[in-house]
């Protein structure tokens, strides 16, 4: 423990020194940013005089801000950052997630993009090429970069990369996990201490739950287009399939692996193990204790927990189920932070903000108060961060174990990325919930979507 404190102390000093030298060398433009590192004491004692107090305002679009879920946590991130950086003010702008892309597009069109925006990974192509996002490596020296991201999930970092540059800094983040109702398991004569690991076991358990208790067995989310294609990609990836070729030119919706994965899902439905609900209905069924197992992003954990307490059943979680003999490839849902400002001074200030929210302190707030994964997993073992919290919240464990196998969800290239994802989601829905032939449906979707590729 003591040693750990010393190392982190040394690390902090090192980072601080790097910030100071980095800013010092990058010219007079950055003078205000330089002072940020020296702490608030000097600033407050000087009062509001002179160049050093020039305030930089950073606009920050976020769909968590203002929201009844996690909004207060997001505000806390801003408040703590501002307290530590008196000359940077963060103007938080709450934008509902469904309208986020439209709003940023409008602002880019007027030439006034937000300085920092919280956006989804699937929009990467548009963000990098259309919105003019800043490659984050260009803002700092290599040493500072390395020092800052020590202890950061390397798989997580990969997600923000596009064409070899890091445009997005992973921010709020979750992976698909298997939530299950321990009470239904017991009633069906299953052991809640040994949740199913493979899809075959899931099917068996689901059928038993359905037979004995009358509740629905299992629901794998991804049957509602708005859920997003990351979870469908997780399933296909876990069967060693890929949704797009290595050179990112050809879609592979109808690869044998994809067809096999979707057919397995359809088999669950045909056998009666899987319900025929859409994702929202399944979620409500789960909350009411009428569904045995539910595979969905861990971000819904808070809602499920509240529901479980309300209706009186025990919620547990396990890793995403696997195809026998193959490792799962859990993919992320969530968002990254992008710097869209074109003003060098603001870019530096924005970088300071990004660094803070993804610091150990930042992730402590994100995990415990907003409900997403800590991408600096070591904070779960550190007394001053989340050690106690983690002990009280065992549901987070499967998620953390999956982090090592985390695989980036593919963002479809070109301007039609959104339609391509919609075609995939619709084809999956048809394949799983109707009598249509799975292979034929996916062939047709492949042919249709391939035409939309750049």
Partner 1 sequence: MNYRKLTLRSLTKHAVMLALSLFAVFPFYWMIISSFRTEAEMYSSALWPKHWTWDNYADVWRMIPMLDMLGNSTAMSVAQTFFQLGTAILAAYAFSRWTFPGSRVLFLMFALTWLIPFQVTMIPNYVTISAWGWRNTLQGLIAPNLVSAFAIISMTQSFKAFPKGITEAALLDGASSWSILWRMYVPNMKASIASLGILLFINSWNEYFWPLLLTNKLENTVIQIGLQMFMSSDGNAWGPLMAAAVITSVPILAVYLMLQRQIVDSFVKMGLK
Site membership for partner 1, residue 74 (CB under 8 A): no
Site membership for partner 1, residue 57 (CB under 8 A): no
CB neighbours of residue 221 within 10 Å? 21
Task: For residues 306 and 182, give the distance between their C-alpha atoms in angstroms, rounded to a whole number.
Answer: 15
Structure-token match 């660094």, residue found: 355
Residue 347, judged by CB atoms within 10 A of its CB (0-12, 13-18, 19+), counts as buried
Q: Which is nearer to partner 1, 249 or 306 (CB)?
A: 306
Task: For residues 58 and 352, give the distance between their C-alpha atoms in angstroms, rounded to a whole number.
Answer: 11
**Phi, psi of 273, rounded to the nearest 5 degrees:** -75, -30
Helix (H) or strand (E) holding 441: helix 438-450
Binds partner 1 (CB under 8 A): choice among 102, 154, 189, 214: 102
Q: Which is nearer to partner 1, 132 or 302 (CB)?
A: 302
Q: Which is nearer to partner 1, 28 or 110 (CB)?
A: 110
Binds partner 1 (CB under 8 A): choice among 56, 206, 300, 396: 300
Binds partner 1 (CB under 8 A): choice among 54, 69, 387, 451: 69
Site membership for partner 1, residue 11 (CB under 8 A): no
Q: Pairing mode, if any, of strands 216-220 and 291-297?
A: parallel
List of residues 6+ apart from 260 with CB closer than 8 A: 239, 241
Stretch that binds partner 1, among 34-42, 58-66, 143-151, 439-447 (CB under 8 A): 58-66
Instruction: Looking at residues 209 to 248 of the shown chain, list those that interact with partner 1 (rule: CB under 8 A).
Output: 226
Nearest Cα to Cα of residue 281 among 331, 221, 344 = 221
Question: Both tokens of residue 449?
Answer: 């979507």
Least separation in angstroms between residue 400's CB and partner 1 is 19
Site membership for partner 1, residue 278 (CB under 8 A): no
Q: Which is nearer to partner 1, 207 or 340 (CB)?
A: 340
List of residues 6+ apart from 249 with CB closer than 8 A: 453
Query: Chain-centre distance of CA 414, in angstroms?
Result: 22
Hey, CA dihedral for 379, 384, 390, 391, is it positive or negative?
Answer: positive
Helix axes 438-450, 256-271, angle to 10 degrees: 140
Site membership for partner 1, residue 311 (CB under 8 A): yes
Site membership for partner 1, residue 142 (CB under 8 A): no
Stretch that binds partner 1, among 64-72, 75-83, 145-153, 211-219 (CB under 8 A): 64-72
Number of residues that bind partner 1 (CB under 8 A): 37
Site membership for partner 1, residue 263 (CB under 8 A): no
Q: Which is nearer to partner 1, 71 or 222 (CB)?
A: 71
Query: Are 88 and 36 within 8 A, CB to CB?
Result: yes
Q: Which is nearer to partner 1, 79 or 150 (CB)?
A: 79
Q: Which is nearer to partner 1, 79 or 163 (CB)?
A: 79
Structure-token match 């065992």, residue found: 394
Q: Which is nearer to partner 1, 25 or 68 (CB)?
A: 68
Query: Are 335 and 120 within 8 A, CB to CB?
Result: yes
Site membership for partner 1, residue 130 (CB under 8 A): no
Instruction: Looking at residues 377 to 436 of the shown chain, list those that interact with partner 1 (rule: CB under 8 A).
Output: none
Binds partner 1 (CB under 8 A): choice among 32, 37, 71, 196: 71
CB neighbours of residue 105 within 10 Å? 13
Site membership for partner 1, residue 9 (CB under 8 A): no
Q: Which is nearer to partner 1, 230 or 265 (CB)?
A: 230
Query: Are 427 and 253 within 8 A, CB to CB?
Result: yes
Q: Which is nearer to partner 1, 65 or 207 (CB)?
A: 65
Within 13 Å, how many C-alpha atoms sit on residue 440's CB side?
Answer: 5
Binds partner 1 (CB under 8 A): choice among 110, 164, 246, 392: 110
Stretch that binds partner 1, among 86-94, 182-190, 199-207, 422-430 (CB under 8 A): 86-94
CB neighbours of residue 371 within 10 Å? 21
Binds partner 1 (CB under 8 A): choice among 103, 242, 401, 443: 103
Least separation in angstroms between residue 81's CB and partner 1 is 18
Least separation in angstroms between residue 69's CB and partner 1 is 5
Hey, CA dihedral for 429, 432, 435, 438, is it positive or negative?
Answer: positive
User: What are the beta bridge partners of residue 61?
Assistant: 93, 117
Which spans of this chain sit near partner 1 (rule: CB under 8 A)?
59, 63, 66-71, 91, 93-97, 99, 102-103, 106, 109-110, 112, 226, 283-284, 287-288, 297, 299-300, 302-303, 306-307, 309-311, 371
């Amino acid at each position: 423990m003591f040693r750990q404190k010393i190392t982190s102390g040394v690390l902090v000093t090192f980072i601080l020194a790097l910030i100071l030298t980095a800013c010092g060398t990058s010219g007079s433009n950055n003078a205000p940013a330089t002072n940020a590192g020296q702490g608030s004491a000097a600033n407050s004692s000087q009062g509001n005089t002179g160049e050093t107090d020039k305030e930089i305002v950073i606009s920050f679009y976020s769909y968590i801000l203002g929201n009844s879920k996690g909004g207060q946590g997001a505000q806390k991130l801003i408040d703590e950052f501002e307290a530590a950086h008196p000359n940077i003010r963060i103007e938080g702008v709450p934008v509902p997630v469904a309208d986020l892309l439209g709003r940023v597009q409008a602002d880019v069109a007027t030439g006034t993009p937000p300085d920092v925006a919280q956006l989804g990974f699937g929009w990467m192509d548009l963000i990098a090429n259309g919105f003019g996002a800043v490659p984050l490596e260009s803002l700092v020296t290599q040493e500072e970069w390395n020092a800052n991201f020590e202890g950061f999930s390397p798989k997580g970092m990969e997600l923000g990369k596009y064409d070899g540059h890091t445009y997005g800094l992973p921010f709020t983040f979750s992976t698909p996990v298997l939530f299950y109702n321990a009470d239904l398991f017991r009633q069906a004569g299953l052991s809640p201490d040994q949740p199913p690991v493979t899809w075959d076991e899931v099917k068996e358990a689901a059928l038993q739950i359905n037979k004995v208790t009358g509740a629905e067995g299992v629901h794998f989310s991804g049957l509602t287009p708005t859920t997003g294609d990351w979870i469908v990609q997780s399933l296909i990836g876990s069967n060693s399939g890929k949704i797009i070729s290595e050179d990112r030119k050809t879609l592979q919706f109808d690869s044998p692996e994809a067809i096999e994965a979707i057919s397995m899902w359809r088999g669950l439905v045909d056998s009666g193990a899987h319900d025929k609900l859409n994702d929202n209905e399944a979620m409500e069924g789960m909350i009411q204790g009428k569904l045995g197992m539910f595979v969905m992003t861990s971000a819904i954990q808070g809602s499920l927990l509240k529901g479980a307490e309300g209706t009186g059943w025990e919620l547990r979680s396990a890793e995403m189920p696997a195809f026998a003999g193959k490792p799962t490839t859990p993919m992320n849902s969530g968002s990254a932070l992008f710097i869209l400002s074109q003003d060098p001074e603001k870019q530096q200030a924005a970088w300071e903000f990004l660094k803070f929210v993804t610091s150990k302190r930042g992730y402590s707030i994100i995990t415990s108060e907003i409900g997403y994964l800590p991408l600096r997993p070591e904070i779960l073992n550190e007394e001053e961060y989340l050690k106690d919290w983690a002990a009280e919240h065992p549901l987070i464990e499967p998620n953390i174990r999956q982090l090592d196998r985390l695989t980036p969800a593919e963002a479809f290239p070109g301007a039609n990325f959104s339609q391509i994802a919609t075609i995939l989601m619709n084809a999956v829905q048809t394949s799983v919930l109707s009598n249509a032939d799975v292979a034929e449906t996916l062939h047709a979707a492949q042919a249709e979507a391939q035409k939309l590729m750049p």
